[in-house]
Amino acid sequence: MSGAYLSDVLFLLGFAVAVVTIPLVTLAAFGWLRPHYPEALKAEAYESGMPQASIPRRPFHMAYYNFALVFIVFEVETLLLFAVAPILRDAGWLGLAEVGAFVALVALSLFYAWRKGALVWR
C-alpha cells in the first residue's frame, strides 16, 4: 500500500518537474532570439495612453473577504464528503442517513450565511 503510494508520488513529482522545466527551457532558449529594446515608456503600466491614474496597491472590496471565508468552510465540508462517497454505495440506509444528516448540516450553514447577508455582493 505505502509502496504504491510512494511510486504514485514519485511519478507525479517527475511529471511536475517535466511540466515546469519545458516552459522555462523554452523561455530561456528563445531569449537570445527575441528582440530586447528596453524603453521607459514601454515599461509603463497600461492605462489607455495616459500616465497611471491611481496606485494599484490599495484597499479592495470587502466582499472578497466574506466569500473567501465562506469558501474555506464549504470547501472543507466538500472534502469530507469525498472521504465517505466511495463507500456510500454499500453503507446501507443507516450510513446514508448519517451522511444525509451531514449534508443537512451543510445546507443549514449555507442558509445561515445567506440569512446573515454573507452572500450579498455589496
Partner 1 sequence: MEVSLPLTFAAGLLWGAVAFTIVGALTAGLVLAERKVSARIQGRVGPMHTGPHGALQTIADMIKLVMKEDVRPARADATAFRLGPLLVAVPAVLSLAVIPFGAPLVMRDLNVGVLYFLAIPGVTVIGLLLAGWASYDNYSFLGGLRSSAQFISYEIPRSLTVVTVVMLAGSLSTVDVLEAQRSVPYVVLLPFSFFLYCVTSLAEINRLPFDMPEAESELVAGYHTEYSGFRWALFFLAEYAGFFAAAAFGAVLFLGGGSGPLLPPVVWLAVKTAVLLFIGMWIRFTLPRFRADQLMRLAWKVFLPASLVNLVLAALIMRAVGS
Number of residues that bind partner 1 (CB under 8 A): 71
Neighbours of 86 (CB within 10 A): 8
Mask: binding to partner 1, 53-72, rule CB under 8 A, as x and -?
xx-xx--xx-xx--xx-xx-
27 is an interface residue for partner 1 by CB under 8 A: yes
**50 near partner 1 (CB under 8 A):** no
| Options 59, 89, 101, 115; binder of partner 1; rule CB under 8 A | 89
Best CA proximity match to 115, nearest among 68, 85, 70: 70
Q: Which of 2, 32, 35, 59 binds partner 1 (CB under 8 A)?
A: 35
The pattern of x and - marking residues 7 through 26 that bind partner 1 according to CB under 8 A reads xx-xxxxxxxxxxx-xxx-x
* Pairwise CA distance, residues 93 & 6, whole Å: 36
